[in-house]
Structure 1
Amino acid sequence: MVLTCAYPDCTNRLKTKGLRSLAQTLLGVVTFHVFPTSKPARLKLWLIALWLDINTPINELKLLRVCSDHFSPDDFTYPGKDHVRLKPSALPMVFPHPTEVCEQDLCMCPFYL
């Protein structure tokens, strides 16, 4: 099974093998993170930041992942040698080409929310 990052136009992919959650890229290791479906307020912020429909059913969101490229380095904790976790306060807000996103519609740009 191949998972892709839920951020629009992100090309990071994860080929799953068992429960493995890491993928190699040219820049190093990219991790993939689940949506906070058990925390409705935080989930809504994620959906808005990623330009996704806030009415997306939970069962669909449980299949989606967001790659580490869309989080700040301060959003992570490292509890073990090969483990990376998002802090409870983490929001996907780092985007590869912010000017392209903002030019589409400044009123809805995540940087201005």
Structure 2
Amino acid sequence: MPWRCCVPGCKGYDEAKSMGVVFHGLPTRDPPRCRVWLKAIQNPRFDEDTPVSRYSGVRVCSLHFKPEDYEEDFRAKILNIPPKPTLRSGAVPSVFPGRERAEPGCTARIRRPTSRLDVRLVVT
């Protein structure tokens, strides 16, 4: 079964064939971390009150993780085989192209400039 990424607007499945995108399930065995993932993903279908049973098919693609979120696969290096992407224990999806950048809980957002001279902070 081909996986789809649950991040709104993500086209990870379409890029998976050509880019080597992999899919990660939510960390359901670690409820506090799972809530952090859900908050980061911002999918309106899932929130911290959603029963864990609904997360079984939910996946996040590797496009939403930084390279440093992955453990180094020493076995693959030794055997000269392709590495198996394994997330570090504290990794949280944090790469969301096209989404406004703002720290969690921050009420300020940075608006994309319409020209080189139009750079300002919009406080909401």
Which residue does 1:98 correspond to in 2? Answer: 99
Q: Which residue of 1 aligns with 2:107?
A: none
Q: TM-score when scaled to structure 1?
A: 0.73
Distance 1:72 1:65 in 2: 16
Shift of 1:2: 2.7
Q: Write the letter of the residue equivalent to 1:40.
A: P
* Alpha-carbon separation, structure 2, partners of 1:13 and 1:58: 24
Task: Give every structure 1 segment of 4 or more consecutive aligned residues whose post-TM-superposition deviation is greater than 4 Å.
Answer: none
Cα deviation, 1:67-100, whole Å, max 9, x if unaligned, reads: 001011100124233411000010001011133x
Bigger proportion of residues as strand: 1
Which of 21, 24, 27 in structure 2 is aligned with 1:33?
24
1:50 matched to 2:41: yes
Q: How far apart in 2 are the matches of 1:2 and 1:55?
A: 27
- C-alpha separation between the residues in 2 aligned to 1:68 and 1:56? 23
Runs (5+) with no aligned partner, structure 2: 77-81, 105-124
Backbone CA RMSD of aligned residues: 1.7
What corresponds to 2:17 in structure 1? 24
Cα deviations across residues 20-62 of structure 1 (Å, max 9, x unaligned)? xxx323xx21111010000011001000001131112212112
Q: Please give the TM-score of this superposition, normalised by the length of structure 2.
A: 0.67
Separation of aligned partners in 1, 2:94 and 2:88: 14
Identity %: 34
- Provide the C-alpha distance between the structure 2 equivalents of 1:4 and 1:29, rounded to a whole number of angstroms: 14
Distance 2:33 2:26 in 1: 9
Structure 2 CA distance for aligned equivalents of residues 77 and 11 of structure 1:
24
Matched, 1:4 2:1: no
